[in-house]
Amino acid sequence: MGEPVTVVGIGAEGWPGLAEPSRDALRAADVVLGGPRQLDLLDDSVPAVRRAWPSPLVPALPGILDELAGSRVAVLASGDPMFFGIGTTLARVVGPQRLRVLPHPSSISLACARLGWAVQNVELVSVVGRPLARLRRALAPGARVLVLSSGAGSPAEVAELVAAQGFGRSTMTVLERLGEDGERVVTGTAGTWSGTSDALNVVALDCVADPGACLTGETPGLPDDAYDSDGQLTKREVRAVTLAHLAPRPGELLWDVGGGAGSVGIEWMRAHRTCRTITVESRPERAGRITANAAALGVPELRVVTGSAPEALHGLPRPDAVFVGGGLTRDGVLQACWDALAGGGRLVANAVTVQTEAALAAAHERYGGRLVRLQVSRAEPVGRAAAGGADGAGSTRFHGWRPAMPVTIWSVEATVATR
């Protein structure tokens, strides 16, 4: 097993804020690893060799730990080492059984303490090395959001995005250098935010929607006009039923084959913050549109592969579920999607034309599963109302049911026996 690696969380206040067990662990170490700013916070009573992390860190980490085998190693981390910290990386490299973690309050805990917010009710968004567009999904009336900033420019960028999304009236608080003597808390509104911020900051949002703001729900079936499309879009009602058959679960990966506007893959990711999507789309202009739609709806990490199935599927990570919205009549597409699934994986495919419906009937015959036909009709103006006129009473508009093309949905689960 070798010597355990002790990971010590330290706050911006440095040595005075450490508990005695953390101080003892650092004094007993032969080598202390950490960032330059963290190492500078140590007291002179720590005799260990102080060694700054190289950049990039993760590839070098196994070699550094092998080199220090037999030494008593302590690692400094900001706040809670297991909260977006080095602790989780070390757990993967050396195994949790070789770690001793001594956490310090995280910046999120300190921010909630200052604001009087319940930590368990806060939505957390990190923009450290991640797209700011992730914040869009967290904005909702009454939501309390904490943003882990990437630097001094983050508050202004957050304010601009929040105002553009129709939440300019939201109370925005920037908490700087939490735990230090120079700690500062500045409060205003997102729509009127101005000024500069310290590089070490957390942004807090108490969300208030502006009048007329366009709000989206959390459940599948967003309005069709939430997407930019060229008409190749799985419509709202069909999309909701399709997602119900796909049954997204936390951490799962979806292949969205024939992405169109990307709606199914986007709403799969919106089902849970850990859900992932790889969308395969053959047309470059549609691939670009999918990327834009994903960012606009708060899931910018959706991955788009431009190419045609089944060739474009080769080498992709194994999916937990597959949706085939296009390319059903191409040789090998359904077979490749089926072969990619492990036991418990789900495959859902939608058909509109006679030819694609025949392909689903053949697949149902071969693999089993369920076939569902969905018919949706929408009320639309008819007669003089459709032309902008009115009936004899001068006010009533007449409506009739206009049916959309029926959609056949095939869904099947790959059991262990079929694998």
pLDDT at 149 over 70: yes
The verdict on 97 and 115 lying in the same domain is: no
State whether 237 and 363 are in the same domain. yes
Please check whether residues 21 and 162 belong to one and the same domain. no
Q: Confidence class of residue 182 from pLDDT cuts 50, 70 and 90?
A: confident
User: 407-414 and 370-374: which strand pairing?
Assistant: antiparallel
- Split at pLDDT 50, 70, 90, the class of 400 is very high
CATH of the domain at 257: 3.40.50.150
Number of structural domains, the chain? 3
Residue 12 and residue 131 in one domain: no
Last residue within a domain, chosen from 104, 138, 158:
104
Query: Quick check: 161 and 132 in contact, CB under 8 A?
Result: yes
pLDDT of residue 392: 47
Kindly report the pTM of this predicted structure.
Answer: 0.88
Mean predicted lDDT score pLDDT of the chain: 93
Same domain (yes/no): 23, 64: yes
Residue 2 confidence (pLDDT) above 90: no
> 386: pLDDT confidence band, cut at 50, 70 and 90?
low
Contact 175, 213 (CB under 8 A): no
pLDDT tier at 396, thresholds 50, 70, 90 = low
In a domain, 214, yes or no: no
**19 φψ region: left (φ > 0), alpha (ψ -120 to 50), beta (else):** beta
Write down the pLDDT at residue 181. 85
Residue 171, in any domain of the structure: yes
Last residue of a domain, one of 45, 70, 104: 104
> In terms of domains, do 293 and 346 share one?
yes
The CATH number covering residue 81 comes to 3.40.1010.10
What's the confidence (pLDDT) of residue 389? 57
pLDDT tens, residue by residue, 158-178: 999 999 999 999 999 999 999
Q: Is residue 212 part of a domain?
A: no
Q: How far apart are CA 268 and CA 277, in angstroms?
A: 7
pLDDT at 385: 57
Range of the domain at 257: 224-414
Q: Is residue 216 part of a domain?
A: no
